[in-house]
Chains A and B, each alone.
Chain A
Amino acid sequence: MKKSKSKFRIGVLHSETGVTASTERLMLAALKFAVSEVNAAGGIDGEELQIVHFDPGSDVVYYRYLADELISNHGVRLIFGAYRSSTRMAVKSVVEHKNGLLFYPTQYEGFEYSPNVIYGGAVANQNSSQMAEYIAETAGSRIAIIGSDYIWPRVASRTMAEQICHDDQPPLTDFFVKLDASRDEFDNYLQEILKTSPDGIYCNLVGPSIPHFYQAYRAMGLDPAKLPIFSLTTSETDIAIMGFDAAEGHVTAAPYFQSLDNARNQQVLSGFYDWLGEETPTNMVWEATYSQVHLAARAMQACGTDDPNQVREALMGATFDAPQGQIRIDADNGHTYLWPRIGKINANGQFDVIRESLSAVKPDPYSPFVHEKTWEMREPALMSGSNS
């Protein structure tokens, strides 16, 4: 392989500093690992796949500025990155104007379509709908909601309330907390939540707020069996920070958990640990990032260029044997068929899968949630007869 400047270079905008650094560092590691696999297998068209990475410091302004910098001054046309919806929108506006292609691996609120974005994370009909069904069956409709103060948590909260709350009964609380809120503040929020005597807490926090909140819950001596915290974001990465005791018994819906007991997941995990030199928690965005890099590399290989239009064309309908199961990019909307799952955190800080989809679910980013059930879940513990 040529070692000079390659024809195939991808831009990367993941933060190593700021509020979402803990998650984005893991995404960056997944990306570098996948790139190393691509290059170990001979690169693309005999050329090395190279990375141009900038740290946007979890700041929306820098995501926008650096996306422009990557395309205008570094000749990069494919960008991987962003995490919060506000940062995706910032990068999206740049790739739309300068005809780039953004690979966005994070679960988000939907109601978006851009010919310049490939969406790799879950939309509401792939995590929120299954979670709503689970909450309705196990906890009921008296739910308190808390989330971080930006776009995704607000929309995700509304979406959940529309699915589980009765017309005459809005969610008991609807708190939106600044991303840099301190640990103490969560004691107050939790006390306000407890005053409403909820049957469950739906949590759309991100970043350091996640461990803060679960730790505050643990410190109050509350029982997850009676008052579980339900989330679409709380992952293995957050669990490692908050401590297993603070996490145990709470529930997350996601297409991937590190604990997935299948050969492909074990293979990718062991490759990742070898490459990294240590074992570290992985999670849903780690997995989606890994898959998106391989999908993009294959598309570039197929068209012999990083031209965004050709790469996008090659990606439509493309499949990949991902750690979560086989995934496919939906040619209708550029989102991805994924495997909805619900996991309960065990004493080892890992998720026990308590429900999973029978098949990959077609992404429906514009789902208005009117009795449109497009999935079927099973309980693996019951089906296999094991007792997890």
Chain B
Amino acid sequence: MAAPDRPSKPIRELVQSFRTLRIHLLVPPGGEADELIQHLRRMGCSAVTSWPPPPESEIDADVVFISMRQLIEDQTPFDWNVEAPSAALVAIADYENPLMVEKTLSLNAQSIITMPLRTFGVLMEVLLSFANFKREQDRRAQIRRLEEKVRFSDKIERAKSIVAEQHGVSRDEGYTLLRRSAMRQRVTISEIVDELIAGVE
């Protein structure tokens, strides 16, 4: 019989470290969310609250909860970069209808928690939303890297064409010339390429 499997190290570390996650609740004081705050403290998490929501730049947290009903009823502005947020967002909902659903979807919330609170599930909501947020963040970074790579490779192709035309050589020989030139001048190939393209334009 083989030794038992264990979850991956990042997953185990995330679960072990849930008490170190910084939680910010955007909820009015004295409301239904009090029970949630109490339960987060019972779980050993530290949580701060504020209402109305401060600007996103002033929120220093890993997981942010926001009261959707209050957001809709108070018509409060909520400054949140939905495409590249600074933290995981968990919507707090105490009813559901198309308006609530649209608002929640448009905030790109990573997770939702319903009121009245069932204490079972809060740990999973916090960890799941944070894991989802991290994954989205990693994907965004990966997409940025790929976009840069594509841009760079487009430029190289253009530069190869320019050199091939100017020197009457093949495109592959054009690339060799570019590389030699970069080595001679002790600069990167990217800089040579930028210079060349700028010169032509």
- A contact residues vs B (CB 8 Å cutoff): 111-114, 161-162, 167, 170-174, 192, 196, 332-333, 364, 366-370
Contact = CB atoms under 8 A, between A and B. Distances in A.
Interface in B40-59: 41-44
B4 A173 contact: yes
A194 to B, nearest CB: 12
17 contacts: A112-B120, A113-B42, A161-B6, A167-B9, A170-B4, A170-B5, A171-B4, A192-B1, A196-B3, A332-B41, A332-B42, A333-B42, A364-B44, A366-B44, A368-B15, A368-B18, A368-B44
Contacts of B158: none
Contacts of A161: 6
A174 B119 contact: no
B123 interface: yes
Contacts of A366: 42-44, 123
Contact of B123 (A111, A167, A172): A111
B4 A370 contact: no
A173 B1 contact: yes
Contacts of B18: 368
Interface in B1-37: 1, 3-6, 9, 12, 15-19
A114 B9 CA distance: 31
A143 to B, nearest CB: 12
Q: Helix, strand, loop or mixed for chain A's interface?
A: loop
A333 B119 CA distance: 11
B39 interface: yes
A368 B19 contact: yes
Contacts of B15: 368
A113 B16 contact: no
B16 A369 contact: yes
| List of 8 A-B pairs having minimum Cβ-Cβ separation, nearest first | A174-B4, A366-B43, A170-B6, A113-B119, A368-B16, A370-B16, A333-B42, A170-B4
A192 B3 CA distance: 11
Which of A112, A114, A364, A368 has the largest number of chain B CB atoms within 10 A?
A: A368
B119 A172 contact: no
Contacts of A173: 1, 3-4
A370 B17 contact: yes
B10 to A, nearest CB: 11
A58 B120 CA distance: 25
Given A170-B4, A173-B3, A367-B44, A162 B123 contact: no
B39 to A, nearest CB: 7
Contacts of A368: 15-19, 44
Interface string B139-174: 000000000000000000000000000000000000
Given A366-B44, A370-B16, A114 B1 contact: no
A192 B4 CA distance: 13
Nearest to B39: A113
A174 B41 CA distance: 33
A161 B44 CA distance: 22
Given A161-B6, A333-B42, 20 more contacts: A111-B123, A112-B120, A113-B39, A162-B12, A162-B16, A167-B9, A170-B4, A170-B5, A174-B4, A192-B1, A196-B3, A366-B44, A366-B123, A367-B44, A368-B16, A368-B17, A368-B18, A368-B19, A369-B16, A370-B19
A370 B19 CA distance: 9
Which of A113, A162, A333, A364 has the largest number of chain B CB atoms within 10 A?
A: A113
